[in-house]
Structure 1
């Protein structure tokens, strides 16, 4: 079902961080728009949640149309993560629109690959929006592990709970999430053991929480040199 937007920022820009948004720029007087509109709505139903379809009346929202360089209608733009990824203009036949959608809108596997890239590059908030949408569609252990990675440094206890019972998959990643989650959780609760190197250990964990990984690593290496058995060899 198409949404006639009244709030472009919310319905398109913000929403596109969670799910691809296809925007149909149209007007009442535009004959070709009346041909393309039903095609887009039919394909939105066919792909059932792969993307949102939003309709924007260029007569009512001429400033937005100008902002996005809409020079002819119907014009269709694909927004992902707040940016226009691709577009086309004119009453394109249904088979071509269908092919364009399949080519430009990522499927589930493509989304998961993109999410992993976002997490690795430190863009956890962007990854989280996409993950929350995927979780609604398919609540499985792979998505839970990715969610745990995305929230690990902000909500370590919740990250730990998301990995409970997960014994298959990339166990190296899962074990790392569990170890770091446990460490950050105990740090936040002030449950780290007493010892000569406790202050240095706390400073290193704090650096880890702030994602200053080089500083954290240097600190943990020094702790191993001075007291390898501290926190049950936690460093």
Structure 2
């Protein structure tokens, strides 16, 4: 595993450059220091995830890679006893760290705990991302190509499984999730994907969305159609539209099908990653119930 010099936020740290590129640089930008080695299996799992996050966070932190075989003095200075070991350097000082290969979800939580959030590359990029959501079918095609090029990258397979779920390809997504290694099976994204599979299973032989919309238009009290449409919207990634259907079910008949409206909302809250959206709909659900 070698550092890709094309990645602007990832570099090799050495004894010679450590003071300037890690300690002094950390005064302005947090530096994540990854101690690794070529022969280390867990390092090969963790390294690509860290590099992916460094690119995604776009300068909110930088990743310094330390090959312990080549930089034994640095490893000794940090008292590294096992690899991989990761340290966070902020303000010129050691702030935190952890041993072992954490899953991506926990790495994101670690960064968030220290106030490190993804940074948009430019204001224009942020506008473009907001105004041009990804086509899930195009994303599946792109990810299939990347998986074919790097078949050992399990993170790409997880990304592909999530994209497949949004297109309704439930069986293939489930097969990919079942094949994930243990360290990724408990990743937050994989857990949410499993929950989405439970939702998706409800859609076997379900009518198309336009059919359900027509049924609701002709009979707004058709709560079965509302439920299926809400599930379809959630699985497809349109969380707000799905929550609106479940909330309307609750408003019209909270006791429908043994409390299905409330249960559907709670299940959806476990899947949806947007905490602000979940919080808003929790409050709206509570106002209807209490």
Same fold (TM over 0.5): no
Larger Rg: 1
TM-score, length of structure 1 as denominator length: 0.44
Choose between structure 1 and 2 for higher RCO, CA contacts under 8 A separated by at least 6 residues.
1
TM-score, length of structure 2 as denominator length: 0.36
